[in-house]
Amino acid sequence: MADLKQQIIAQLNLKDLKPEDIGDDQPLFVEGLGLDSIDALELIVLLQQEYKIKLANAEEGQDVFRSVRTMAQYIREHQPKTV
C-alpha cells in the first residue's frame, strides 16, 4: 500500500504529503484528503497506467476510491494475471 500511496501523491501532485501521512482507511474524498472530481479522473488514469485496470463501471468509482485500502483491494482483485 505504501507504493500505491506514493503513486497517488505523484499523480495528484500532493507535494506536502508523505505516504505515511495518508491513513490506510482515511477517506480520499471530501472530508479526508479533500480530493475532488478531477482527482477521480486522475486516479482512473493511474489505475490504467500503472496496473492496466480499466474501471468497467464509473459507478464503481465511489466504492473503489473510498480509501487506499479499497483501491489496493480492487487492484488485487482485478490486476491481469502475469504468466
Partner 1 sequence: MFIQAAAGISPQPSFGALLTEPASYAGNRLSCIEPDYSQLIDPKMIRRMSRIIKMGVAAALDCLKTSATEMPGAIITGTAYGCLADTEVFLSKMIENGEELLTPTAFIQSTHNTVGAQIALLLKCHSYNNTFVHRGFSFESALLDAVTLLQEQHASTVLVGGIDELTDTSFALLSRFGLYKKDISSSKTLYDGAAKGTIAGEGAAFFLVAAKHSGKDYAQLNGLYTFYKPRDITDIEKNIQSFLSDHAIGMDDVDLVITGQNGNVHEDAIYEQLAQTTFKGKANAVFKHLCGEYPTATSFALWLAANIIKAGVVPSCTLVNSNNKHPRRILIYNHYQNTHHALYLLSAC
User: Cα dist. 12→15, 71, 81, 83 in Å?
Assistant: 9, 15, 27, 32
DSSP run (H or E) holding 69: helix 68-78
Nearer to partner 1, 14 or 75 (CB): 14
Site string (57-76) toward partner 1, x via CB under 8 A = --------------------
Nearest distance, CB of residue 65 and partner 1, angstroms: 15
Q: Return the residue of 1, 19, 27, 42 that touches partner 1, per CB under 8 A.
A: 42
Taking CB under 8 A as the criterion, the residue among 1, 14, 55, 75 binding partner 1 is: 14
CA distance 12 to 39: 7
Q: Give CA–CA dist 74/83, Å, rounded.
A: 20
Which residues here bind partner 1, judged by CB under 8 A?
A: 12-16, 34, 38, 41-42, 45, 48-49
